Amino acid sequence: MNQAQLFNEIWEERPHISELTGLPLLPKGHSQWHWQFLHVLNKGTYTKWKENKENIILARPEEHKIQERYPKFNEIHDRLKAKYNEENKIQTFKN
């Protein structure tokens, strides 16, 4: 499945509101529509989850640019990072 197909599936499955703020999303066909699909765990670093629907949330384009400012994003990020690390048996060390 390519990214466009994945985004279309997510669009059909979820309400068209931001998962960070609850604001309505831009309609399909808008020039920034694809910017509303935010990878919580960076798709370059967490390549195994690039196409994992759980790793993609819906957010408005302006929210995408400042995602770390939203406590909800950070909660989701921390939960998914722990799950990813557990699934991939990545050890994290704390000082």
Residue 92 lies in a domain: no
Q: How far is CA 14 from CA 19, 46, 53, 57, in A?
A: 10, 23, 11, 10
The pTM for the full model equals: 0.85
Residue 49 lies in a domain: yes
Mean pLDDT of the chain: 92
Domain tally for the chain? 1
pLDDT band at 1 (very low <50, low <70, confident <90, very high): confident
**Domain boundaries, position 72:** 3-87
